[in-house]
Structure 1
């Protein structure tokens, strides 16, 4: 309430007061704060729509996945070649788009499956769990989405990395030769290391992104602009990419070794790399990986949220409850 130039606030409002950019003091009550968290996490009073979440996840996720993969494929190729090379090995910078078409053909269904699982699971968990466990909901949804989509992503990754390292000239030829020499299981080479890398990667990246998004919305008290979403996505991607780089090196070595079976498994691979090349070898390709995942995060999450906006405009559902700020 304002009397002349004097402002008075209730005790619960004093706990959540701040000064805006023009020097005016504004407050949000605890009740309104709780409503805000509910609106940005799950949508207050909005019934869970499984088919809607599934459709949104598949369309928005596959679109974002294909755009990000296509835009940053050369960086991914350089990262793979750096990780695959043993000490003294030369890095080729030709054919940086080798395997792009086959990878995009696999990236579309892989992204569709991931988000077709992630979005419904996330929204269901946010509806079911207490608001203070939203981070757990995001972690769980990311891990489950990653586990199920790995059935599509791993063969795509194996073929892509074999082509990036110059072993094959085309995706169909790669699939034919791998299956002929190594059996169908050859398409799932490094599956364990892939899960070891991607389950924590997916869980951490999406949890970090969603939590930063919620926190920034709380501070800004408005819908975020495209560049703000991109920055949050880049930050979440870069941090997660750096943390999981050693696991990525092991995964790459296992996937590109072919029928020679130089490594017996995940732990043997990590032990052999550190013994023969030093611990620093587990950081190979970290620069291109952080750049690739960081910029990829900006593109991916930017396209993802924009696609969601377009879908919401074309197929509007019940409006989400938005927080209102009142002065007593």
Structure 2
């Protein structure tokens, strides 16, 4: 690993040692506040959007018919056939929920990355960093890199929900 000044740090331990010596122990936690602040809204949006989409579908005529067909099929259906939304809709709704969650909290990630890149001499608070980002690049700067981030999140969120719903069936877990 090479430090900004060009000196070799000697791997991960060397990088930690360098950070602690040059910027102090708490430099290891730069960007922690925006990360923590983004956790609650991220989960709320992720699970909330999925639940809204799922319950909306299950209340629709098509969804009610699907549930009725699953009940009639009983034990003869495999776990994928027993998915309330079906595999494709489960993947789609999971991806939509993940995209909404990522878009809603992405600005916190941008601020966190900027905080991590700061050196002690020019260190700003999270709020001051956010203001500086907007002053220098406009509001759109808070969303720089969102598209590549979404390309990573979409498959992950989709697969997470598919596995979650599939395992509820396999393990015979009933919702509360």
TM over 0.5: yes
In structure 1, what is the equivalent of residue 166 of structure 2? 306
Post-superposition Cα deviations, 1:230-278, rounded to whole Å, max 9, x if no partner, equal 1001011112222322222111111233x43534211110111122233
* TM-score, structure 2 as length reference: 0.68
Greater alpha carbon shift after TM alignment, 209-218 vs 222-231:
209-218
- 1:33-44 correspondence runs (5 A): none
The one of 277, 281, 297 aligned to 2:141: 281
In structure 1, what is the equivalent of residue 26 of structure 2? 185
In structure 2, what is the equivalent of residue 243 of structure 1? 104
In structure 2, what is the equivalent of residue 231 of structure 1? 92
In structure 2, what is the equivalent of residue 133 of structure 1? none
Does 2:131 match 1:290?
Answer: no
Q: Report the CA distance between 1:198 and its aligned residue.
A: 2.6
- Counterpart-to-counterpart distance in 2, 1:234 and 1:191: 26
Q: Report the CA distance between 1:179 and its aligned residue.
A: 4.1
- Counterpart-to-counterpart distance in 1, 2:175 and 2:142: 45
Residues 45 and 100 in structure 2, CA contact (< 8 A), matched pair in contact too: no
* TM-score, structure 1 as length reference: 0.40
Structure ranking higher in helix proportion: 2
In structure 1, what is the equivalent of residue 47 of structure 2? 206
Does 2:75 match 1:215?
Answer: no
Structure 1 portions without partners, runs of 5+: 1-166, 322-328
- 1:104-183 correspondence runs (5 A): 171-183=12-24
Q: Give the aligned length.
A: 150
**Are residues 261 and 231 of structure 1, via their aligned partners in 2, closer, same or farther at CA, if it must alter by over 3 Å?**
farther
Moved beyond 6 Å, runs of 4+: none
**Are residues 169 and 230 of structure 1, via their aligned partners in 2, closer, same or farther at CA, if it must alter by over 3 Å?**
farther
In structure 2, what is the equivalent of residue 270 of structure 1? 130
Structure 2 portions without partners, runs of 5+: 1-7, 68-83
**Are residues 215 and 273 of structure 1, via their aligned partners in 2, closer, same or farther at CA, if it must alter by over 3 Å?**
same
Greater alpha carbon shift after TM alignment, 294-303 vs 280-289:
294-303
Tell me, what secondary structure is at the counterpart of 1:224?
Answer: coil
